[in-house]
Amino acid sequence: MESEPLMLAFCCHYCAYAAADLAGSMRLQYPSNVRVLRLPCTGKLEVNYLMTAFEHGIDGVIVAGCLEGGCHFLEGNLRARKRVERAKKLLAEIGLEPERVEMFNLSSAEGIRFAEIVTEMSQRVARLGPSPLRPDHETVHRNIQQMTDQAEAALRGAKHDCCRSQECA
Amino acid sequence: MIVADRKNVREVRDMIKDHKRVLLVGCGTCVTVCLAGGEREVGILGSALRMSLRLLGHKEVVVDQCTIERQCEDAFIDALAPRVAEYDAICSLACGAGVQALAERFPNTPIYPGLNTQFIGILESQGVWTEKCAGCGNCRLGQFAGICPITRCAKRQFNGPCGGSQDGHCEVNPDTDCAWQLIYDRAKSTGNTAFLEAIADPQDWSTSLDGGPRKVVREDQCIAGLGPKA
């Protein structure tokens, strides 16, 4: 657990998120250490999202948007690529490896490609080693426990509609 | 507007690393518009600095952040004043005027610049800003068809173009339009080319960066007893 990289995947609703869903339907195997976050478009991604993720000790980040020319909002994926490039420059200035974040393009039909991307990035980040900003093992577990407790509390609250809540949807 | 650019994270980190609590202060006017020092950029730099300090072994340094409406005016700094006592240094993401306004307001707090102030300019296209005004204090745009030869001609020529104007571009930088080509084109399109025949007088540079900081005084606007310092 301690040496397993912690990964985030910012996925576009129209392609990569559907591809991840397809990968699941196809029973494809890929590393379980990636947490998928859905965006309405990768154009929603801000450099701050990436910086905050690394500040909290994430080891690697995947940004997965539509194929170039295929963005539902015309050029959100092209903007995301530029923001990823900017984040790479900032990481280099900070002293973290820019390879820890990467932009990928795929379509919603590419479940196999999604599994490949996660595997490829997971291997790359494992080679780089854990982020030097990663909290110690106990803190990671404490954070996970807190998140689990919050999720369970939310589920117990009958009035709280998780699917509609901005915080937990 | 005033256009600025961010400093390298390491440069800012090295300025603040010996303090315990640092407040990053953004500015909501010019530098927000030129995407250098607004709320979003303050958030990014704050995150980058915290990471960089931790990697350098300065884990104890606290970096917090906030953005005020305008740093170059004392009345807007009021919003910041109650928080400053909690910090032993401020890093300002404003133009040089904003940084100095904070320095004057908080005489006992070290102030560091987070940006490099570049010039007075305009947005040319998304993500690209170009210099348009040198703030020379003696505007002669009316004489040059609305194109400033001081700012836009690499040689600051008042009687151009020079021999280096090639296909409408400057010999100093082929990516730059020749200011005198622009002046000539605009003179033609406005139907007034007569001024091109005349010799333009030299500039009176005494109104520019000369004799210390310049000052504009509007006596009718000065409040009695609070007038300009002698």
What are the residue ranges in chain B where pLDDT is below 70? 225-230
Asked if ipTM goes beyond 0.90, one says no
pLDDT of A42 above 80: yes
The total of other beta-carbon atoms located within 10 Å of residue A66's CB is: 24
**Distance in angstroms (rounded) separating the CA atoms of residues A16 and A37:** 10
Specify the pLDDT at position A135. 80
Percent of chain A at pLDDT above 70?
Answer: 82
Q: Does B52 touch chain A (CB under 8 A)?
A: yes
A2 touches chain B (CB under 8 A): no
| Per-window interface: A 44-63 vs B, CB < 8 A | 46-48, 51-52, 54-55
Contacts of A46 in chain B (CB under 8 A): 40
Cβ pair B8:A93 closer than 8 A: yes
Helix/strand number for chain A, H first, E second:
5, 4
pTM of this structure = 0.86
- Confidence at residue A3, expressed as pLDDT on a 0 to 100 scale: 64
Residue type at position B203:
Q
**d(C-alpha A138, C-alpha A158), whole Å:** 32
Tell if the CB–CB gap between B9 and A51 is shorter than 8 Å. no
Give the chain B residue nearest A48 (alpha carbons). B44
pLDDT band for A169, please (50, 70, 90 cuts).
very low
Residue B92 gets the label, from left (phi > 0), alpha (psi -120 to 50) or beta, of beta
pLDDT the model gives residue B223:
84
Mutation for A interface: B6, B11, B44, most A CBs within 10 A: B44
- Model confidence over A6-29: pLDDT tens digits? 999 999 999 999 999 999 999 999
- The mean predicted confidence, pLDDT, of chain B is 94
